[in-house]
Amino acid sequence: MEAQLIENQTCLVLGPDFHFESNAHGVRPLLELIDSKRNLKGFSVVDKVTGKAAAYLYLVLGFAKVHSLLISEPALNLLESHGVQVTYDKKIPMILNHERTDYCPLEKSVMDAASPEEALSSIRNTVKILMAFKGKH
C-alpha cells in the first residue's frame, strides 16, 4: 500500500471516490466511519495501531487492505482469517493499556466476540463506560 501516515495522523482511509484522515486516537475514527453509514467495502486503511478491537471494526467497515504501523498477533490472525490483505511495520503479542499494566480495555471487550457485530456492540459499551469513568475524574 503506497499511502503512509503523515505528522499526527492516526488513521487514513482511501478508496476510489473517498479520502478520510484523522488524528483521533484509539477506535474513534473507525466508530465515526461506521456511524457515517458510508459504504467503504473494498477500501484500504492505514492505521497507527491495530489491535483486535480495531480489526473487528475494519471487518464491519468492509476494508480489503490494511497497513498498520503496529499490529497485535490476535488482530493479524483475525484479519487474515477473513481474507483481508494485511501489511505491517511491527507485530506485538497484545495491545496493552496506557499504563502497560494490563490488556487494553477494548481488547478485553472483544476477546470472546463471535462476530464483528458482537464485537462492535462490546466496543460501544466499553467506550461508554470508559467515557463515563473519565468524566468523573
Geometric angle at alpha carbon 77, from 11 and 1, rounded to 5°? 40
- Residue 6 is predicted with a pLDDT of 83
- Residue 8 is predicted with a pLDDT of 87
Q: Could you read off the pLDDT of 59-107 as tens digits, one per residue?
A: 999 999 999 999 999 999 999 999 999 999 999 999 999 899 999 999 9
- Across the chain, mean pLDDT equals 94
Domains defined along the chain, listed by start: 11-135 (3.40.140.30)
Burial class of 25 by CB neighbour count within 10 A (0 to 12, 13 to 18, 19+)? exposed
Q: Could you read off the pLDDT of 30-44 as tens digits, one per residue?
A: 999 999 999 999 999
